[in-house]
Homo-oligomer: A and B are copies of this chain.
């Protein structure tokens, strides 16, 4: 049984993509349902029928954002060493938060770090998912300890926290209009800190045996 009744006159994924952009630019509370429906090219009852409501639409937008705009982060995890993971993460993040064809910054931050009390679940949800990413990075670093490109005395959790803090700062800075190159420069300084504090094996060292 394929479809019953009248087929919908819009592409649900494409409309969701428009919603991502509105939430990204204006934040959860700053984006009205009218703004969203207009940008999505549909009217409100269609929005409610297809996505459930404003908060559900936001959660779906964040999920889509994570799949597409945050792909670089999952790719970074595949780098062979912890140092290279961090280098890829911070450099790619500088690019991701300054795409000329997208809103500035990062949806996870722009979405809402602070909310009215009635919308606290929204900012809480965003904070939780950021911390989940941090946990995944800590796991990656723990693997790096096992694999030997981080020394045994390295603290995976503290290092992951530092990297996430820098990337959040990059996002905030990007939203203020700071250029991609300036953010990349900051990434290099952070990378120096990561290397110094972790004692990570560097790429060059990895290829020439001592």
Q: Which A residues fall within an 8 A CB radius of B?
A: 24-27, 29-32, 35, 105, 109-117, 119, 123, 127-128, 130-131, 155, 158-159, 161-162, 164-170, 172-173, 175-178, 182-183, 185-186, 188-197
Contacts and interface: CB of A to CB of B under 8 A. Distances in A.
B115 A176 contact: no
Nearest to A192: B196
Contacts of A29: 27, 29-30, 116
23 contacts: A26-B114, A27-B113, A27-B116, A29-B116, A30-B114, A30-B117, A35-B116, A105-B113, A109-B113, A128-B176, A155-B185, A159-B189, A161-B185, A162-B189, A165-B169, A165-B183, A165-B186, A166-B169, A168-B172, A193-B193, A193-B197, A195-B196, A196-B196
A27 B28 CA distance: 12
